[in-house]
A and B are shown apart, each in its own frame.
Chain A
Amino acid sequence: MSDFLRTFWSTLSSLIHRLGQRSFPDSCLRGIPGENDLLEDGLVATSVFLFTDNHKKASGVYEQSINWHDDDLAISLTLNQTRRNGELQFKGGVAVMKRSRIDSLSKLPLFKNSLSYERQPHLRNRYHGNLLLEPGFSKPLRKAMAATLATHVSRTISQP
């Protein structure tokens, strides 16, 4: 029976994943971890968009968690995400990034077509996805990329 459940679960997860790759909404949501990461005038700290060595796929591709803005529930889900200790995960709120901006930025010489995204839904968060960066970029360049992404945030949503 447990084998059946495992197989069922694996098949269901795979189906959810495949369905999710078909389409993307106009924008995605990047959580802003700390209150200090939301600057004056609604600007977002560069570090919010930094691709780090701590977050890589097995292939070496860098990834940053996002939630896809499929509907307004995605915003409330993101704002209310909590850590294991019950604290809000994104005390600074949410940064909204237009997908068309991500596509444009990836074509710039700084990014060399290395920036992309994916859906990665799971049972507790069907909106989940990732910004992806191909491997092989130096730390100064990754920080320049983070600054560029932060500059192109379309708007921020603070915690109520």
Chain B
Amino acid sequence: MNDEYTSTSGSSSVSPPLETKFTVPLEQIDATVGGTAPFARKVGSHITENARRETARIPDRVVAQEANEVLAAIERTAQYLALSGQEIQNLPPVMLFAQEDGSVTIEWPSVDYRLGFTIEANPDESGWYLTTSERLGEAGSYGYLSQIDVRFLAYLLVNFIVANS
């Protein structure tokens, strides 16, 4: 299964290899934020702390673990952006919604866009989406989490949030 990036023009493409996407390699991002910098860890935690609390109440532990991995990827990106000088204190917190079928959605809902990660009991069905309002061009993209590095995806999507906050 390939992620589909569907633009408003109708074109879709398979995602290019990871190493061509980052201006900074993933390993350097991890090294930058993986140390003992309490300032870096505190900055950005407001984005995920509410959602983190909700993961404790997810009955399916596999779903809970995958949700925590997504939240960790979001935190890592936020911390990296903060260390890079980006203003992230005004970023809205992400929300976690538990669905009746046992799945979980981690989402930034706003007037102009929705950006979400959907965590299913069957990991092969877990996905992500980005959709925008008419004002932002009615863009729509989605894909499967199993086919993409969630750290890269979080980097892409959090940057979108930053650009539109």
Interface residues of A (CB under 8 A from B): 39, 41, 43, 45-47, 52, 104-105, 108-110, 138-141, 143-144, 147-148, 150-152
Contact = CB atoms under 8 A, between A and B. Distances in A.
B128 interface: yes
Q: Is the interface of B mostly helix, strand, loop or mixed?
A: strand
B105 A144 contact: no
B143 interface: yes
B44 interface: no
A43 B12 contact: no
Given A43-B111, A46-B97, A46-B107, A151 B131 contact: yes
Contacts, number: 83
B129 interface: yes
Interface in B106-129: 107, 109-114, 116, 118, 120, 125-129
B97 A45 contact: yes
B109 A46 contact: yes
Contact of B142 (A45, A46, A144): A144
A141 B1 CA distance: 13
Contacts of A147: 107, 114, 116, 129, 131
Contact of B131 (A39, A41, A140, A148): A148
30 contacts: A39-B95, A39-B109, A41-B110, A41-B111, A43-B109, A43-B110, A43-B111, A46-B107, A47-B99, A52-B101, A105-B138, A108-B138, A108-B140, A109-B7, A109-B12, A110-B6, A139-B118, A140-B118, A140-B126, A140-B127, A140-B128, A140-B142, A143-B127, A144-B129, A147-B116, A147-B129, A147-B131, A148-B114, A148-B140, A151-B113
